[in-house]
Amino acid sequence: MADGERGRYAREFGEEFVPPRRLRVLDAVAYALVLTLLVATLAVLVTFGLGVARPLLGVKYLLFVVGFLLFGVGSVKVRPNPPYKERRILPPNSEEETGFQALVQRVVGLLGEEYRLGPDERYSDAAKLLLAAVVMLGCSAALEFGFGVAV
């Protein structure tokens, strides 16, 4: 029985199913790459729309700023709840699937239906945001150091 079939069977009958680590990592990497590509595409559109003379420089800066901000948000979300507080400002995980996560699941679903995971089977939103931040900062650094996009 394949992992996807086992997961559907376990969910149907209320059994505990922990998906293989490779599926969870695939979901997290897909989340990070889709978010990075979305931010980079928006940055290209904005810089070309504004008529910037060096659009790649704008893309590099926007990737850096958004990556830095996502790193902060992910860091706050990943922290445990202090014992003296009853609720958190940023919960580590959303209870339902967001529109962006549905988009990521459609992208992952292109590989095959067995690669799709339920909302409770994925890594936390905080972990995926931290991974996306690292990918964005890495792309910004690659643009600067690898491709010579500098001031």
Ranges of each domain in the chain = 3-8+21-81+89-146
Q: What are the two backbone dihedrals, phi and then psi, of residue 15, each rounded to the nearest 5 degrees?
A: -85, 155
Would the pLDDT of 145 be above 50? Answer: yes
Would the pLDDT of 2 be above 60? Answer: no
Degrees to nearest 5, angle at CA 44 with 33 and 129: 30
Give 3-37 pLDDT, tens digit per residue: 555 555 455 556 666 778 888 999 999 999 999 99
pLDDT of the residue at 16: 64
Residue 43 and residue 62: Cα distance in Å, rounded? 6
Helix (H, G, I), strand (E, B) or coil at 130: helix
Q: What sign for the dihedral angle of Cα 133, 136, 138, 140? A: negative
Determine what percent of the chain is predicted with pLDDT higher than 90: 39
- Give 69's DSSP letter: H
> How much is the average pLDDT of 37-52?
91
Residue 131 and residue 29: Cα distance in Å, rounded? 7
pLDDT of the residue at 79: 82
pLDDT of the residue at 4: 52
Residue entry with tokens 């940023």: 90
Residue 138 and residue 49: Cα distance in Å, rounded? 25
Give 101-129 pLDDT, tens digit per residue: 888 888 888 888 888 888 888 888 889 99
Which residue type, as a one-letter code, is found at position 40?
A
